[in-house]
Structure 1
Amino acid sequence: MKIYTLHKKQNLPISVDQAWDFLSNPKNLKIITPDYMGFHILSGADRPMFAGQLIQYIVTPVLGIKTKWVTEITHVIDKAYFVDEQRFGPYALWHHKHFIKPIDGGVEMEDIIDYKVPMGILGQMAHPLIVKPKLEEIFAYRQKKLIELFGTL
């Protein structure tokens, strides 16, 4: 049972309030997700973020296969961090921590994702070939889009 971790940091020249307002709104996920993934929110994004919130999406991560993904916001500290955990979807485990902290001239945004791929040894074999490169690509896209939207430090 191998658990992988993806860790990303990005600095942006915006306030904590601006960063929080953008990142804590599930509707903005579509903006920072590659178009080919067909990201579409089905339900749960109609209120400000709160612990216990369930959000249902459709995504098309690989080979044009549409996948339903249900996440729960499990922890929220206003303007500091939130955690989303997969309840149903493509991973055997998905635990994504989002941190925002003030720095000189802006904010540091940090993502720590702990995840496990399904299908045992087959999933572990696919991880370096498909899963990890796809996650790296998605987060590189997010970094680029956030720079386009907010600039860079």
Structure 2
Amino acid sequence: MKIYTMQSTQKFPISIAELWQFLTDPKNLKVITPEAMGFNTVSGDERDMFPGQIIQYTITPLFGIKMTWVTEITHVMDQKYFVDEQRFGPYAFWHHKHFLKEIPGGVEMEDIVHYKVPMGILGQAVHPFLVKPKLQEIFDYRTQKLTALFGEF
């Protein structure tokens, strides 16, 4: 069993409260997801993030195939971190930690994703040229979008 990790760090010249407010509103996930992903929230975005929250989306990650992705917000510490875990969806395992830290002149956001691709050895074989680049593309888009919204540090 192979667990992959993707990590990214970004700094913004805004307050931790401003970034936290944006990130913990599930409706904003669509804002920071590439349009090509066909991302739409089906349920669970009626409230700001809380532990135990179940959010259901539809996505079209590859080849125009529409699928359902269900995540649970498992941990939340106000203006410090939150964790989302996939319950059903495209990955065999998905655990995404979001950390915020106040720094001089702004805030630093760090994301750490641990994930496992489905289909065993076949999934591992396609990971380097299909899954990993797609995930990197999504994170790169999010980085660009957040920079456009909040500025660059």
TM tier relative to shorter chain: over 0.9
Amino acid at match of 2:92: A
1:6 maps to which residue? 6
1:16 maps to which residue? 16
Uncovered stretches (5+) of structure 1, i.e. residues with no partner = none
Amino acid at match of 2:93: L
> How many pairs were matched up?
153
Seq. identity, %: 67
2:28 maps to which residue? 28
2:144 maps to which residue? 144
Structure 2 distance, partners of 1:35, 1:48, is 23
1:95 maps to which residue? 95
**TM-score for the superposition, normalised by structure 2:** 0.99
Q: CA deviation at 1:79?
A: 0.6
Q: Deviations over 1:111-146 (max 9, x none)?
A: 000000000000000100100000111000000001
1:121 maps to which residue? 121
Amino acid at match of 1:73: I
Structure 2 distance, partners of 1:146, 1:35, is 15
Q: CA deviation at 1:70?
A: 0.1
2:38 maps to which residue? 38
TM alignment of 1:68-107, pairs within 5 A: 68-107=68-107
Q: CA deviation at 1:47?
A: 1.1
Amino acid at match of 2:99: F
Q: CA deviation at 1:42?
A: 0.2
